[in-house]
């Protein structure tokens, strides 16, 4: 048998080294998650849900989520930038949502049609 030719001490060292490496990398991942934490603005997801979700790129952004982010940040001031959306189904709800959900500092980025 192959296992019988390996000394128990060698197996113990292997387990010990892998265990220590697991702990070290686990601690590194904890610190990385703390230092590289990015706070997500949940308004972006809410606005994205109100867009058509066609992800066609017709607005000039990579997808609906990117346009939603630009609307929330105030970089896009016209919801009709979305070429697929409909006024009643998409644009009016986005305008209503943004008018009631300002930034943390109270600044409102309410887009127009």
The size of the interface with ligand SF4 (CB under 6 A), counted in residues, is 16
For 50, other C-beta atoms within 10 Å of its C-beta total 23
Asked whether 44 and 72 are in contact (CB, 8 A), the reply is yes
Query: Least distance in Å: CB of 101 to ligand SF4?
Result: 18
Q: Which is nearer to ligand SF4, 16 or 86 (CB)?
A: 86
Q: Which is nearer to ligand SF4, 52 or 110 (CB)?
A: 52
Binding ligand SF4 (rule: CB under 6 A), the pick from 52, 92, 101, 110 is 52
Q: Residue 64: is it exposed, middle or buried by C-beta count within 10 angstroms (0-12/13-18/19+)? A: buried
Give CA separation, 90 vs 20, 42, 54, 94, in Å: 53, 18, 12, 6
Distance CA 81, CA 61 (A): 10
Site for ligand SF4 contains 54 (CB under 6 A): yes
Q: In the range 65-104, which residues lie near ligand SF4 by CB under 6 A?
A: 67, 82-85
Site for ligand SF4 contains 46 (CB under 6 A): no
Contacts with ligand SF4 by CB under 6 A lie at 51-52, 54-59, 61, 63-64, 67, 82-85
């Amino acid at each position: 048998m192959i296992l019988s030719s390996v000394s128990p001490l060698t197996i113990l060292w292997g387990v010990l080294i892998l265990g220590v490496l697991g702990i070290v990398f686990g601690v590194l991942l904890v610190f990385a998650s703390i230092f590289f934490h990015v706070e997500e603005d949940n308004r972006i997801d809410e606005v994205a849900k109100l867009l058509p979700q066609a992800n066609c790129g017709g607005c000039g952004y990579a997808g609906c989520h990117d346009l939603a982010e630009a609307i929330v940040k105030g970089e896009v001031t016209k919801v009709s930038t979305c070429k697929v959306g409909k006024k009643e189904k998409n644009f009016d709800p986005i305008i209503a949502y943004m008018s009631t959900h300002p930034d943390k500092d109270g600044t409102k980025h309410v887009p127009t049609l």
